[in-house]
Amino acid sequence: MTEDRPLRVLLTTDWWEPVVNGVVASVTTLRRELEAAGCEVRVLTLAEGRHSSRDGDVYRLGSLSASMVYDRARIGALRSDPIRREILQWRPDVIHSHCEFSTYVWARRLSGLLGVPLVHTYHTIYEDYTHYYSPSRVMGRKMCAAFSRRVLDRTDAVIVPTQKVARLLTAYGVRTPLHVVPTGLDLRSFRPAVTEAERADARALRASLGISEDQKVLLSVCRLAKEKNLEEVIAHVAAADRDDAVLVVVGDGPYRGTLEAWVQELGVADRVRFVGVVPPQEVARWYRMGDIFVSASLSETQGLTFIEALACGLPLLCRRDPSLTGVVLEGRTGWLYEGPEEFLIRLSNLLQDTRGRAQMADAAVAHARSTCGAEAFAQAALAVYWSALAPAAPAAALPAGVAA
């Protein structure tokens, strides 16, 4: 790195477009904002097939499906000489990894070869997913702690989205410096309906689902997986037994069949709608047709959909969880609940108090804009990069015997 060129950042991630999830949203936002701040940014990710390639500033490693482990997951090649040579010749100043598997291995190797800092963002609380790979939650948690220590103690700095994750990693015994950096969003895309065309579109979406004008929409946007705990939300909707509220679920996943069967078992098929996956550029439309965002998930590291909902003017009604500290300002941007009785009380108040709900909607938008902007996200990440670079000497020639 020299003073006459921009900071060069290599972002590595196992997940990339067209996959839609929180990691992809975070990395694409960070990439755009780092470039806006004057950085040179390239991405190392996995291809959808076996052949490695380069598309502009995005390198794609050939990979194989690992969907038997997790939906749409892939295992990437650990060797591709052309891609390796190109990255070494480009010489990034910082490598920022976002996944703990295939591309993390590349990130660590490249960091060692180039003598540059490796920063890692810990996106996923793996112990919330033990039902996929361990019959015992206790044993699963021990495995997650050991795995996390092994990965993170080989990095120079760790970014976490919330204090909840920082406390968890500290309890795991992670020794690498932790930096709390909330993930930012492009709030130009996520906002309430402001034109008549947008309001008409929201009405049309509701009508397409058979929802009348006098019914309120309880919206959930998430991957349909066991850890999202949607069964609890559906059970609460059934217990509320209100004709004036309809639950709309946007998203898909391996648990959809189970959830649809649960809806039938509870006899609430007339009050629940499954929309399925929608294109990323259309997600904001679905937020705008909602009235209240609901969730019972306890597996979030930050929960970008919660922030998206706030930015679109939806009050939140969510299961109490440390990841929502600073997101749900109780009585202002929504409510947190502990059990079914509290859910029913809060839901009733939100549905009946039209003026209070409108005030919460305004507060939700203001809070999202003041705390979760994309530019602040990039600036905070840059501060972590510079702190990791500070003790290091400028990158010199490659180690003897290492060919670019």
Q: pTM (2 decimals)?
A: 0.77
The pLDDT assigned to 130 comes to: 57
The pLDDT assigned to 402 comes to: 46
The pLDDT assigned to 298 comes to: 84
The pLDDT assigned to 404 comes to: 47
Query: In order along the chain (404 residues), what is the average pLDDT of each group of 10 residues?
Result: 82 90 90 97 94 96 78 81 96 97 96 97 80 65 92 97 91 96 86 94 97 97 93 97 97 95 97 94 95 92 86 97 88 96 97 96 94 90 96 47 46
The pLDDT assigned to 398 comes to: 44
The pLDDT assigned to 69 comes to: 58
The pLDDT assigned to 339 comes to: 93
The pLDDT assigned to 370 comes to: 86
Q: What is the 3-state secondary structure (H, E, C) of the chain?
A: CCCCCCCEEEEECCCCCCCCCHHHHHHHHHHHHHHHCCCEEEEEEECCCCCCEEECCEEEECEEECCCCCCCCEEECCCCHHHHHHHHHHCCCEEEECCCCHHHHHHHHHHHHHCCCEEEECCCCHHHHHHHCCCCHHHHHHHHHHHHHHHHCCCCEEEECCHHHHHHHHHHCCCCCEEECCCCECCCCCCCCCCHHHHHHHHHHHHHCCCCCCCEEEEEECCCCHHHCHHHHHHHHHHHCCCCEEEEEEECCCCHHHHHHHHHHHCCHHHEEEEECCCHHHHHHHHHCCCEEEECCCCCCCCHHHHHHHHCCCCEEEECCHHHCCCCCECCCEEEECCHHHHHHHHHHHHHCHHHHHHHHHHHHHHHHHHCEHHHHHHHHHHHHHHHHCCCCCCCCCCCCCCC
The domains found in the chain, sorted by start residue, are 8-184+373-389 (3.40.50.2000), 196-371 (3.40.50.2000)
pLDDT tens digit string along 344-386? 999 999 999 999 999 999 999 999 988 888 998 999 999 999 9
